[in-house]
Amino acid sequence: MRLPDPSNNGGGLGAKRIPANITSDPFSDPKIATGARGNNQNNFNPFNEFASNEVVQNMAGNLIKDQVSKQAENYRGIFTFDLIRPYFNVDNTYIYSKFKLIFLPFLEKGDWKSEGEEKYMSSNMEYEDFKTDNSKIDPFGVDLYLPLMALVTFTQVVGFYHGALDMFDPELLEYLIGKCLFVWLSETIMIKLFLMCQNVPYAPFMEILCICGYKFVTLSVCSIMMIIGGRWLYYSSLLILGSSLSIFMIKTLKRYTHFSGGNYIGQSNISKATILYILGGIQIPLLLILNM
């Protein structure tokens, strides 16, 4: 029995071949395309549209820039040289006048009052709210330039002296600088505590630090005398210039005690003048200790 050929359009069971409509793009069908568009609409993210807005980007950039500027301003208030900058406002005239006060203090009569103190005492402000600007033309002002330069000079002179004796050692300079800074800071704290016990309204720590640092000027000159004339010239200059330094310290610190009354700590029999003489008298022993 012979079966009909299904490939024959005209034969067998009345079947007719219908060609399949196959296309390469499945989304060409309107129903399928409509479904795809619906899925894309469901995946829409409004945050991406908001973040890509140019106005929003500019606002965010400005906000971040302002915050960074504020933080930098806060840190600049911590790490700044504004506190010590006035103490380096000096010129040649001021340095000459300061040398004269250190080496020949008995030539300057009367009370030594700086311009900053007079302005403070004539005002009704608290010291925390009062900002002083040391003038380079004020001979009774204080500075950090001379103490620091004198400290560097002193260490160089000592290094040169030991080098000439073939005894130079870098560790010696490290020890010397450390000892000088320790004595300098310790004396400053001691004087500050004394003035605080006296309820002195005007006693800035930085000014006391500057005053105590002027001993390095005397120490540098005495060390140079040691190289030039030996020990006899060194000890002679130390006695003379150390006495001048004592007078300088007494007259300089005396101006702070004028601003308050009473005795030491309010109940002690030790007067302010006695304490000032003690502070002035220890200058020569300190010079000997620093140059040992």
Please determine, for residue 79, whether its predicted confidence score (pLDDT) is greater than 50. yes
Residue 148 tokens, joined: 């620091």
Task: Look at residues 179, 88, 181, 188 and name the one whose alpha carbon lies nearest to residue 141.
Answer: 88
Q: Residues 132-150: what's their mean pLDDT? A: 78
Average pLDDT, the chain: 74
Yes or no: say if 190 and 196 are a contact pair by the CB < 8 Å rule: no
Residue 138 buriedness (CB in 10 A; 0-12 / 13-18 / 19+): middle
Q: Residues 175-204: what's their mean pLDDT? A: 87
For residue 153, what are the contacts with CB-CB under 8 A and spacing of at least 6? 216, 220
pLDDT bin (cut points 50, 70, 90) of residue 50 is low
Please determine, for residue 33, whether its predicted confidence score (pLDDT) is greater than 50. no
Backbone torsions φ then ψ of 95, nearest 5 degrees:
-65, -40
Most confident segment among 53-62, 77-86, 198-207, 261-270: 198-207
Side chain identity at residue 65, one-letter code:
K
Q: Residues 67-81: what's their mean pLDDT? A: 60
Tokens 């390095």 locate to 216
The answer, as to whether pTM is greater than 0.85, is no
Please determine, for residue 200, whether its predicted confidence score (pLDDT) is greater than 50. yes
Residue 135 tokens, joined: 């003038």
